[in-house]
Amino acid sequence: MKHLLFSLIAFTLTSKAQTSKVLEPKLENIAWIAGTWHGEAFGGITEEIWSEPSGGSMMATFKLINDGKVTFYEIEVIREVENSLILQLKHFGPDLKGWETKDETVDFPLKEITENKVIFEGMSFEKISDSEMNVYVDIEDKGKTETVKFNYKK
């Protein structure tokens, strides 16, 4: 009986996962990311502000505040490139000195878009509601990769 119940639950979860319709890689399908989002991560307060899609891109600023001071900033863009999307970002210290070299960006190619998720290689966005989303970022440190969850609210 336990085996049958487990199989039924697994089938139900798999069926629900398979019913998520994959959407075209268009900015209009991820416009729900736009807005001013606040959360907590890395022992501090985070703020991420995404623009509405325009000119073939969306852009964002991010900042992390620890103990009342900015720890770092990011500038992020999601661009339409060759019938797909790519998320690119650059990090800056509190003095606006870049972490990456002048022409270097951290790139996250698109894997998939569904109604409530945007999955890039190494970063994904999950719509919880109109006023809440989770962002998951794979962070590599000393050869180990850890997925960090950012829970944001508008």
All structural domains of the chain with their residue ranges: 28-153
Q: What tens digit of pLDDT does each residue of 38-64 get? A: 999 999 999 999 999 999 999 999 999
Q: Residue 19 has what pLDDT?
A: 59
Is the pLDDT assigned to residue 3 strictly greater than 60? no
Q: What tens digit of pLDDT does each residue of 91-115 get? A: 999 999 999 999 999 999 999 999 9
The whole model's pTM is what?
0.84
What span, in angstroms and rounded, lies between the C-alpha atoms of 77 and 105?
Answer: 10
What span, in angstroms and rounded, lies between the C-alpha atoms of 118 and 96?
Answer: 29
Mapping DSSP onto H, E and C, the string for 60-126 reads EEEEEEECCEEEEEEEEEEEEECCEEEEEEEEECCCCCECCCCCCCEEEEEEEECCCEEEECCEEEE
Beta strand pairing status for 69-81 and 44-50?
unpaired
Band of residue 18 on the pLDDT scale cut at 50, 70, 90: low
Give the class (CATH, top level) of 28-153.
mainly beta
